[in-house]
Homo-oligomer: A and B are copies of this chain.
Amino acid sequence: MNSLGRIFRVSIFGESHGPGVGIIVDGCPAGIPLAEEDFLPDIARRKPGAKGTTPRQEADMPIIQSGVFQQHTTGSPIMIWFENQNTRSADYEKQRDIPRPGHADWVARIKYGGYEDYRGGGHFSGRLTLPLVAAGVIAKKILHQGDAPIDIQARIMEIGGETDWEKGLEKAIAAKDSIGGIVECVATGLPAGLGEPFFDSVESLIAHAVFAIPAIKGIEFGAGFRAARMFGSEHNDPIIDKSGKTATNHAGGVVGGLTNGNPLVFRVVVKPTSSTPKTQHTLNLRSGEVEPFSVKGRHDLCIALRVPVVLEAVTAIVLADLLLIAQQRPVCWPAP
């Protein structure tokens, strides 16, 4: 469903062209300083406007509707609301019978029996990543607490196969097409022992959250797919000191499903934006014929450019949850 997390739990709602989008953050500890302006830097990083991003302009002003009092979290659910202002539903109503390839139009119609909000993808919209970013800001505050802050940084590794991502983007502009990319995320300062073996492995939880971001189609930790061609003696990371530090980090900071105190490192692949300027073909549900069509509306040429801050956000949400869970497991008996 639309919730994630065990102790620090987020629930999203809203549609692209409805009244707005929002999120509830439940299980957040009381006493964290929080004001609406705290969200603005990360929201700005997600904003379109740069080359290759959609010209749709939204104020994206977060409104805290609950859970904060006198500029601190109260321990009650925090609801953050973003009003939609710049909607153009008519763009979408015309194309109702022409399910756009790569989009959820057709599957949503099947799943919801024709009752889906089809305007701009409705609930299946990238606009829902906006409240995720807001929840990420709160999660990052939890991670930054104490003496040893946990820091998360995501950055673009390549666009269209080019590590100079400006160059990759030019390729797409020249081809009048959208383009994919790869984003890497690194979290440092993590204590060892977060996560669980098997179903709540750190890889399981991070991957679960990451695939909630539209357009992500793969994830790899540490050496990732390169590990398929490595020998064990190459891939294993020798432990070199009592803090668990390893000489290499092919495991990406996770062993046996648990953090090992080394940086958590993973990469995701972002598919090219489904809405490409190129003419494409799809089935016209009314005529029953496969027909050419062009995407209308305002879209990103390379959605990967806007992914880093969203990737940080879902990573922060997962890690804040794990950190809060870890704090509930005291070993009060003397060690053997």
Q: Across the two chains, which residue of chain B brings its CB closest to A332?
A: B145
Q: Which of B22, B101, B271, B329 contacts A29 (CB 8 A)?
A: B329
Q: Does A179 contact B (CB under 8 A)?
A: yes
Residue A86, interface by CB 8 Å: no
Verify B231–A207 contact, CB threshold 8 A: no
Interface size class of A (residues with CB under 8 A): 35 or more
Task: Enumerate the 9 nearest inter-chain pairs by beta-carbon distance, A residue then B residue, closest first.
Answer: A104-B256, A218-B220, A232-B276, A178-B232, A328-B328, A111-B193, A76-B123, A30-B112, A207-B207
Given contacts A290-B240, A333-B31, A335-B31, contact A65 B13 (CB under 8 A): yes
Q: How many Å lie between the Cα of A114 and that of B30 in the bound state? A: 9
Q: Does A269 contact B (CB under 8 A)?
A: yes
Q: Check A333 against B33 for contact (C-beta < 8 Å).
A: yes
Q: How many copies does the complex hold?
A: 4
With A123-B76, A124-B256 already in contact, the answer to whether A230 and B99 are too (CB < 8 A) is no
Chain B, Cβ-Cβ closest to A7: B328
Is residue A50 within 8 Å, beta carbon to beta carbon, of the partner chain?
A: no
Q: Let me know if A75 is at the binding interface, CB within 8 A.
A: yes
A99: chain B residues at CB < 8 Å are 239
Whether A336 contacts B72 in the complex (CB less than 8 A), given A192-B111, A232-B273, A278-B233, comes out as: yes
